[in-house]
A and B are shown apart, each in its own frame.
Chain A
Amino acid sequence: MSDVVSLNHGSGGSQMRNLIENIFAGKFGMSKPLTDSALLENEGYTMAFSTDSYVVDPLFFPGGNIGKLALCGTVNDLAVSGAIPLWISASFIIEEGFPLEDLERIADTMASEAIKAGVKIVTGDTKVVSKGKCDKLFITTAGVGIVKSGFEHISKGSMIKPGDKLIINGSLGNHAIAVLGARNNLGFSSKIESDCASLNHIIQNFFGECSEIHFMRDLTRGGLAAVLNEVAEMTSLGISVQEESIPVDEPVKGLCEMLGFNPLSLANEGKFLLISSGDESFKILDILRSHPLGKNAAIIGEITDEHEGYVVLKTATGGKRILEMPSGIDLPRIC
């Protein structure tokens, strides 16, 4: 049997990265580091441009639906690049027989989320395929925003240096566990809701206030573990993280213990990692905590010039270990 694409290639971990680097980036002439948004220089300003596809199963889950995910996801990819998101496109691949009522509910959610985020959905596309040729509904969104002057380096992390602090805006793992719970085949029901939300307003609170933010990235597939490993590789610096300081809600913790998941590698849809100078970190923490999406924000570790290229987790029990890049398919179709 020849080599084929497997679900592992879509997991957000090392196999997906290899696929993107070896097949797409090379042939398309894209240069590393590959970031969530492309930054496009124009006369006097920089535009951010990003796209994302959504195949979440089930379409509706506690705390959101595929439409909310599609809107917030692209807004967030732009926002963490230091951009003010402005225009969004939305394309739909719909399976024959899909209830119009559900489609309307999903479109309503997208419309209201767009108003909340202050973006406009300005163009799109619709395709319908025969029954059985796609699973209910897939959505692709793309977005354009204007990068805030002085934030152009954020997505590439070129200013990250030893001593910088790592900050996240709240508890990890809620989205993945909410979607998993909604699948009905795990035999558990929980009150855990997806954290799905647009992060552009909380991020815009930094504009004009902070000048020493060195990196931002949303913590979607592969979770915190994937992003930290990417940063370690990208910068060739070490990362040191204190497990104890990472917020994880009790019900999420419990389910992870039971199901054997690591909350640090679970997908989130309203969480991001921020890296800033040590001096500015407390100011940033205050700004985050003053916003509803950052109430549980925490400093979780720092950049170091030790163990270069590796993320080392100081465990809550006092041990130390490497926090690895997630690999394989823990959870397909989580977003």
Chain B
Amino acid sequence: MKYIDEYRNPEIIKKLAEAIKKISSASYTFMEVCGGHTAAIQRFGIPALLPENIRLLSGPGCPVCVTSTDFIDKITKLSLEPGTIIATFGDLIRVPGSELSLDKCRSEGADIRIIFSPLEAVSIASVNPSRKVIFPGIGFETTAPGTAVAIKKAKEKGLRNFKVLSAHKIMPPAMEAIIRDGTRLNGFICPGHVSTIAGSKIFNFIPEKYGLGCVVSGFEPADILQSILMLVKQVNNNLPAVEIEYRRAVKPDGNETALRNMQEVFEICDSWWRGLGIIPASGLRIRKEYRDFDAEEAFTFETSSTDENPLCICGNILRGLATPSECPLFGKVCNNDNPVGACMVSAEGSCNIHLKYHPS
């Protein structure tokens, strides 16, 4: 398969792994920010190909994992109101709020539909004019433009029954928060899909302000190894910079159409990240011009708490300060069938991935 096979070629991978080994003269810690990278690294067995002095940490780039309990409480509550349809990406279904998950609400009769594109939610709203269709908007720069287009489409069609509950976030402020929090890093494997939309330039402040290297990586094993090789070289030469490994998809300026749509519908706000707390200017809320489609405007919510199980260390895991196996709940109380923290729920969550591939 084109664009897949060449990036999984065992010969190329072997050569890259040898090249990394050859020049890794110190200890290196790199953070892969994106949950897609965490999953790929484990799926392809990359750690087994790296020398011991290279450590990979998983960052806060799984959208489901960083979504607040409060958000889940809001959407589950809405799902149980008569006449509503929740049209959602599948990964949100099992995420536990303080009491409920969408999964449990569905067992109670809530109408919850799994969709693959926000435009499907608009179609559902169009054929169900008497019902309110709510799309929980989660994710980073990767998914926010899609939500923006769906909102614009609904406006164009005059579909007042389509609402978005936005928990969209943007990535660079979270990376800055992690650096400031004191996580010891030598560089970032930067998210490929976020950068496809937003461009690699959004990371320029990291080498400039903090002296850390950034390589925007693709998702195949050769991509990831190549990116690690580039980061090791940056560290060795003490020349931190933003480099693009994922050239077949990413440009420095990103996708201008997608960004324009996103900026037209959303504005920057402070946002609460599960495990990280409030990060200033890291969220996306719907602009006044599109308030008819904002679920926050259409419904009133009681403020609920953001309390999480005190034993769950998702926060430290998301900041790269702890690994899943250091959590007292990991694999025992908290597992795939009974996720306590968000890192266990999502297929891109560190704990879920860790348990899947290292169960003992």
Contact A310 B103 (CB under 8 A): no
A5 in contact with B45 (CB, 8 Å): no
A14–B4 Cα distance when bound, in Å, is 31
> Is A279 in the interface zone, CB < 8 Å from B?
no
Partner pick for B337 among A15, A310, A318, A322, CB 8 A cutoff = A15
- The answer to whether the Cβ of B26 comes within 8 Å of any Cβ in the partner chain is no
Known pairs A316-B8, A321-B43; A1 contacts B336 (CB<8 A) = no
Tally of contact residues, A, Cβ under 8 A: 31
Does B116 reach chain A (CB closer than 8 Å)? yes
Segment touching B, from A56-64, A191-199, A252-260: A252-260
Contact A260 B116 (CB under 8 A): no
Contact A319 B103 (CB under 8 A): no
User: Whole-angstrom distance between the alpha carbons of A23 and B265 in the complex?
Assistant: 50
Q: Is the CB of A318 within 8 A of B49?
A: yes
Given contacts A18-B337, A316-B8, A320-B48, contact A4 B104 (CB under 8 A): yes
In the bound complex, do residue B13 and residue A317 qualify as a contact, i.e. CB atoms below 8 Å apart? yes
In this complex, what residue of A is CB-closest to B103? A6
**A186 near B: Cβ within 8 Å?**
yes
Partner of B46, one of A7, A310, A319: A319
Contact A322-B356, Cβ < 8 Å, known A4-B104, A6-B104, A14-B336: yes
Question: Which among A250, A321, A322 is the interface contact of B1 at CB below 8 angstroms?
Answer: A250
Q: Does B307 contact A (CB under 8 A)?
A: no
Known pairs A7-B103, A317-B44; A322 contacts B336 (CB<8 A): no
**With A and B bound together, what is the CA distance between A8 and B103 in angstroms?**
9
Over the window 192-222 of chain A, the binary record of Cβ atoms lying under 8 Å from chain B Cβ atoms (1 yes, 0 no) is: 0000000000000000000000000000000
Q: B100 interface residue, CB < 8 Å from A?
A: yes
With a CB–CB cut-off of 8 A, which chain B residues contact A186? 116
Tell me the minimal C-beta distance from B109 to chain A in angstroms: 11
* B359 interface neighbour in A250, A310, A318, Cβ under 8 Å: A310
Contact between B94 and A320 (Cβ–Cβ < 8 Å)? no
> Given A6-B103, A8-B337, A328-B336, A319 and B108 touching (CB < 8 A)?
no
- Most A C-beta atoms less than 10 A away, residue of B13, B44, B49: B44
A327 at the interface (CB under 8 A from B): yes
Pairwise interchain contact A322-B359, C-beta atoms closer than 8 A: yes
Residues of B within 8 A of A317 (CB): 8, 10, 13, 44-45, 221
| Cβ–Cβ < 8 Å partners of B46 in chain A | 319
A309 to B13, CA, bound (A): 29
Determine chain B's interface SS by DSSP, over half rule: loop
Cα A4 to Cα B107 with chains together (Å): 7
Q: Beyond A185-B120, A316-B10, is A328–B45 a contact (Cβ under 8 Å)?
A: no
Question: Inside 8 A of B8's CB, which chain A residues have their CB?
Answer: 316-317
| Cα separation A315 to B8 with both chains bound (whole Å) | 10
- Shortest CB-to-CB span from B273 to chain A, Å, is 24
**Contact yes or no, B4 A257, CB < 8 A:** yes
Min CB distance B7 to A, Å, is: 9
Q: Is A292 an interface residue (CB 8 A)?
A: no
B347 pairs with A318, CB closer than 8 A? no
State the CA gap A185–B124 with chains docked (Å). Answer: 11
Cα-based distance from A14 to B295 in the complex (angstroms): 36
Q: Is A108 an interface position by the 8 A CB rule? A: no
Partner of B356, one of A1, A4, A7, A324: A324
What chain B residues lie within 8 Å of A328 (beta carbons)?
94, 336
Which chain A positions have C-beta within 8 A of B356?
Answer: 322, 324
In whole angstroms, what is the CA distance A273 to B48 when docked?
29
Contacts of B13 in A (CB 8 A): 317-318
A187 at the interface (CB under 8 A from B): yes
Determine if B301 is an interface residue (Cβ-Cβ < 8 Å): no
A6 adjacent to B107 (CB under 8 Å): yes
Cα A5 to Cα B357 with chains together (Å): 27
Q: Indicate the member of A260, A318, A322 with the most B CB atoms within 10 Å.
A: A318
- Distance in angstroms from A318 CB to nearest chain B CB is 5
Cα–Cα, bound, A327→B107 (Å): 18
Which A residues are CB-close (under 8 A) to B94?
8, 328
Q: Which residues of B contact A250 (CB under 8 A)?
A: 1
CB-nearest residue of chain B to A320 = B45
Q: Quick one: given A6-B107, A7-B106, are A324 and B337 in contact (CB under 8 Å)?
A: no
A186–B113 CA distance with the chains assembled, in angstroms: 13
Residues of B within 8 Å of A254, CB to CB, are 1
Q: Which residues of B contact A321 (CB under 8 A)?
A: 42-45, 357
Which of the residues B44, B103, B347 comes within 8 Å of A315, measured between beta carbons? B44
A217-B120 Cα distance, complex, nearest whole Å: 39
CB-nearest residue of chain B relative to A330? B90
Most buried by A among B1, B4, B8, B107: B107
Residue of A nearest to B8 (CB): A317
Contact present for B104 and A1 (CB under 8 Å): yes
**CB of B301 to closest CB in A, whole Å:** 19
B22 within 8 A of A: no
Contact A319 B116, CB 8 Å, known A1-B108, A257-B4, A324-B356? no
Chain A residues within an 8 Å CB radius of B117: 187
Verify if B14 is at the interface (C-beta below 8 Å from A): yes
Contact with A along B81-109 (1 / 0, CB 8 A): 00000000000011000011001101110
User: Interface digits, A1-37 against B, CB 8 Å rule (1 contact, 0 not)?
Assistant: 1001111100000110010000000000000000000
Q: List 8 A-B contacts (CB under 8 A).
A: A1-B108, A5-B107, A310-B360, A316-B8, A316-B10, A317-B8, A317-B13, A318-B10
Contact surface of B with A, Cβ cutoff 8 Å: 1, 4, 8, 10, 13-14, 42-46, 48-49, 93-94, 99-100, 103-104, 106-108, 115-117, 120, 221, 336-337, 347, 356-360
8 tightest A-B contacts by CB? A319-B45, A327-B336, A321-B45, A324-B356, A4-B107, A317-B221, A320-B45, A315-B45
For the A-B complex with A1-B108, A8-B94 known, give 8 more contacts whose Cβ atoms are closer than 8 Å: A4-B107, A7-B106, A18-B337, A257-B4, A310-B360, A317-B8, A318-B14, A321-B44
